[in-house]
C-alpha cells in the first residue's frame, strides 16, 4: 500500500489528471476523514469542489451557492464523482448551522471572502479562502484577528507556496544564489474582451441576488455582472491587481523577505475599451520596502503580448545575478554576466490565461496541504497572516491608483500615513445587518 506522501506525489503530479481512478486508489484511515463545505461553486469553486472530493477520505458534505442552477449542477457533479449527494444551501448562514463538518472552502466573489471566512471561524470551521483573502485591508486585519481568536486554520489560495520547485527557488534565493536580492519585477497579461454597457434588468429567477451581494452595499442588477465581470467593479471586485497580481506579489514578498512597504505608487487606467469596467485594465504598481529593496508589478488585462516569453511571472535581481520565474514550477538562474548557470524544469501543463486554474495539477497539492493540516499531519503552507500581507500589497496599489498619488506607509503594519482620503479606502461600508464583527 502506498503511504500518503507517495500517493500525493503520484496521484496529483506523476499520474497527471485528477481522476477518480487514481485519487481513490489509496484508502486512508477512518479517523483521517475530513468533511468539507464549499461556498461559491460556479467556476473556481467547481474546481475546488471536484479536487477536494478526489482527495482520499475527504467528503464534500455541503454546497452553498445563491444561484440555484449552479447549486444543482455542483451537487450532481459531486454525486457522480463520489456516489454521495451533498446537501445544498443558498445561504451560508444556514450551512454554517451544521455541526458535522470540519472546514469550508470559499470561492465566492471577493466581497464575500473575509466575511464568510470569519463566519466560518466563528462556527468552529477551518477555512480555505481563495485569493484575495479580503476585499479591503481592514477585512484582512479582522480575518487575522479572528484566526487567532477562534484557533482554527485559515489557508489562502497562494498555491505557489506549495509548489516544490518554487520553494526550492526561494531557498536558493535566500541562500545567496544571486547575491543580495534588491529588486523584483512581476507581471500578468491577458486579452480580455469588453464587458459592454450593462442594462438594468430583472434578476434571473435562479439567482438570489440579495444573498449574492451579501455584505456589499446594494446595487442594481445589470446583465453584464454575474458570473464573472463583478471582478471589475469596485463594489464587489478588486481588479486585476488582486485577481491575479496577488500571486506574483506573494512570490515577490516571499523572495525579498519583506512584510510591509514604506511607499506605494500606482498608475494606469481603463484604456482599451469604453464600457462599464471600473478597475484599471492596465496598471503598474511600485513598492519600496524598509530593507532597501523594491519591486514593481505590471498588469495588462486587454493585451496578451507576453513578457519574457510568459503571460505571467517574476524576475529577481541581485548584485551577483538574476532569477527568472515564469509563473509555473520552473525557474532559471543567471550569473552577473547573464550566463545561464542553472535551470529547473517542470513539464506540468500551464495555461497562464486560464481563468479557472492555470496549473490545476499543482494547485491540487495546495488543497491536499490544507486537508493534511486539518489532520495535523502537515503545517499549513499559506497561513492567513502571510496571505493578508500579500493581499495588502495590491490593495495599497489600488488605493494609490484611486487617489492618484504616492502613499507613505508604516512598515510595521502597512497602514497609510497622513492621507485621510486614502485612509477612507482602508475599509468599507456594509449593507445593513452585514457588519463584519470578530
Q: What integer pLDDT is reported at residue 353 of this predicted model?
A: 64
Q: What integer pLDDT is reported at residue 350 of this predicted model?
A: 66
- For residue 14, give the DSSP letter: I
CB atoms within 10 A of CB 341: 12
Q: What integer pLDDT is reported at residue 29 of this predicted model?
A: 57
- Cis amide prior to 227 (ω within 30 degrees): yes
List the strands of the sheet with 321-325, edge to edge.
340-344, 331-335, 321-325, 312-318, 181-189, 293-300, 282-289, 263-269, 407-408
Q: Three-class SS of residue 186?
A: strand
What does each C-alpha distance from 237 to 109, 180, 234, 278 come to in angstroms? 7, 37, 5, 10
Rounded (5°) CA angle 343-344-348:
135
Place of cell 480555505: 128
- For residue 240, give the DSSP letter: H
Stated as kind and residue range, the H or E segment containing 255 is helix 245-256
Q: Three-class SS of residue 33?
A: coil
Q: Three-class SS of residue 117?
A: helix
Between strands 340-344 and 331-335, the pairing is antiparallel
Distance from the Cα of residue 150 to its chain's centroid: 22
Q: What integer pLDDT is reported at residue 348 of this predicted model?
A: 77
User: How would DSSP label each residue in 40-73?
Assistant: --SSHHHHHHHHHHTSTTEEEEEEE-SBHHHHHH
Strands in 172-256 per DSSP E: 181-189
| Domains within the chain, CATH numbers bracketed | 4-160 (3.40.50.720), 171-199+206-351+385-426 (3.30.360.10)
Question: How far is Cα 189 from Cα 201, in angstroms, rounded to an integer?
Answer: 32
Q: What integer pLDDT is reported at residue 6 of this predicted model?
A: 41
Going residue by residue through the chain, which has 438 residues, state the pLDDT in tens, using 9 for 90 and above.
334 444 344 444 333 333 333 433 333 455 699 999 999 999 899 999 999 999 999 999 999 999 999 999 999 999 999 999 999 999 999 999 999 999 999 999 999 999 999 999 999 999 999 999 999 999 999 999 999 999 999 999 999 999 999 999 999 999 999 999 999 999 999 999 999 999 999 999 999 999 999 999 999 999 999 999 999 999 999 999 999 999 999 999 999 999 999 999 999 999 999 999 999 999 999 999 999 999 999 999 999 999 999 999 999 999 999 999 999 999 999 999 999 999 999 987 766 666 655 567 789 999 999 999 999 999 999 999 999 999 999 999 999 999 999 999 999 999 999 999 999 999 999 999 999 999
Q: What integer pLDDT is reported at residue 394 of this predicted model?
A: 98
Stated as kind and residue range, the H or E segment containing 363 is helix 360-374
Considering the entire predicted model, what is its pTM? 0.92
Rounded (5°) CA angle 255-143-151:
95
Strand-pairing partners, residue 264, are 287, 407
- Three-state SS sequence of 346-358: CCCCCCCCCCCCC
What does each C-alpha distance from 316 to 154, 176, 184, 248, 257 come to in angstroms? 29, 12, 4, 11, 12
Between strands 126-129 and 154-156, the pairing is parallel
Q: What integer pLDDT is reported at residue 1 of this predicted model?
A: 34
Buried b (16+ CB within 10 A) or exposed e, 252-288: bbbbbebbbbbbbbbebebebeebbbebbbbbbbbbb
Q: What integer pLDDT is reported at residue 352 of this predicted model?
A: 62
Phi, psi of 13 (to 5 degrees): -120, -60
Q: Three-class SS of residue 341?
A: strand
Amino acid at each position: 500500500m502506498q503511504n500518503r506522501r507517495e500517493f500525493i506525489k503520484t496521484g496529483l503530479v506523476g499520474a497527471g489528471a485528477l481522476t477518480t481512478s487514481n485519487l481513490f486508489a489509496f484508502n486512508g484511515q477512518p479517523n483521517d476523514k475530513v468533511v468539507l463545505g464549499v461556498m461559491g461553486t460556479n467556476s473556481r469553486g467547481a474546481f475546488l469542489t471536484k479536487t477536494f472530493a478526489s482527495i482520499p477520505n475527504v467528503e464534500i458534505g455541503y454546497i452553498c451557492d445563491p444561484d440555484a442552477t449552479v447549486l444543482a449542477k455542483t451537487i450532481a457533479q459531486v454525486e457522480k464523482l463520489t456516489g454521495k449527494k451533498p446537501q445544498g444551501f443558498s445561504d451560508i448562514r444556514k450551512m454554517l448551522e451544521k455541526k458535522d463538518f470540519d472546514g469550508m472552502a470559499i470561492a465566492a466573489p471577493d466581497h464575500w471572502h473575509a466575511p464568510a471566512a470569519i463566519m466560518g471561524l466563528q462556527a468552529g470551521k477551518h477555512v480555505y479562502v481563495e485569493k484575495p483573502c479580503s476585499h479591503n485591508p481592514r477585512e484582512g486585519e479582522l480575518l487575522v484577528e479572528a484566526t487567532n481568536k477562534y484557533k482554527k486554520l485559515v489557508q489562502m489560495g497562494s498555491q505557489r507556496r506549495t509548489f516544490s520547485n518554487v520553494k526550492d527557488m526561494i531557498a536558493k534565493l535566500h541562500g545567496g544564489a544571486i547575491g543580495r536580492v534588491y529588486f523584483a519585477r512581476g507581471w500578468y497579461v491577458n486579452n480580455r474582451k469588453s464587458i459592454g454597457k450593462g442594462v438594468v434588468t430583472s434578476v434571473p429567477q435562479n439567482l438570489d441576488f440579495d444573498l449574492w451581494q451579501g455584505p456589499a452595499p446594494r446595487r442594481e442588477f445589470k446583465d453584464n455582472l454575474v458570473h464573472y465581470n463583478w471582478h471589475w467593479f469596485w463594489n464587489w471586485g478588486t481588479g486585476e491587481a488582486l485577481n491575479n497580481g496577488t500571486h506574483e506579489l506573494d512570490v515577490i514578498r516571499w523572495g525579498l523577505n519583506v512584510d510591509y512597504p514604506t511607499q506605494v505608487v500606482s498608475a494606469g487606467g481603463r484604456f482599451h475599451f469604453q464600457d462599464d469596467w471600473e478597475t484599471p485594465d492596465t496598471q503598474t504598481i511600485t513598492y519600496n520596502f524598509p530593507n532597501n529593496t523594491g519591486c514593481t508589478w505590471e498588469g495588462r488585462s486587454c493585451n496578451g503580448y507576453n513578457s519574457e516569453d510568459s503571460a505571467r511571472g517574476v524576475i529577481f535581481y541581485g548584485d551577483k545575478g538574476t532569477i527568472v520565474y515564469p509563473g509555473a514550477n520552473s525557474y532559471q538562474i543567471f550569473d552577473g554576466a547573464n550566463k545561464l548557470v542553472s535551470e529547473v524544469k517542470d513539464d506540468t501543463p500551464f495555461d497562464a490565461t486560464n481563468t479557472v486554474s492555470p496549473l490545476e495539477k499543482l494547485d491540487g497539492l495546495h488543497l491536499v496541504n490544507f486537508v493534511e493540516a486539518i489532520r495535523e499531519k502537515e503545517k499549513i503552507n499559506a497561513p492567513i497572516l502571510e496571505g493578508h500581507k500579500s493581499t495588502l500589497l495590491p490593495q495599497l496599489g489600488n488605493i494609490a491608483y484611486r487617489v492618484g498619488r504616492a502613499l507613505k506607509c508604516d512598515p510595521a503594519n502597512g497602514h497609510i500615513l497622513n492621507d485621510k482620503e486614502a485612509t477612507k479606502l482602508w475599509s468599507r461600508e456594509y449593507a445593513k445587518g452585514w457588519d463584519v464583527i470578530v
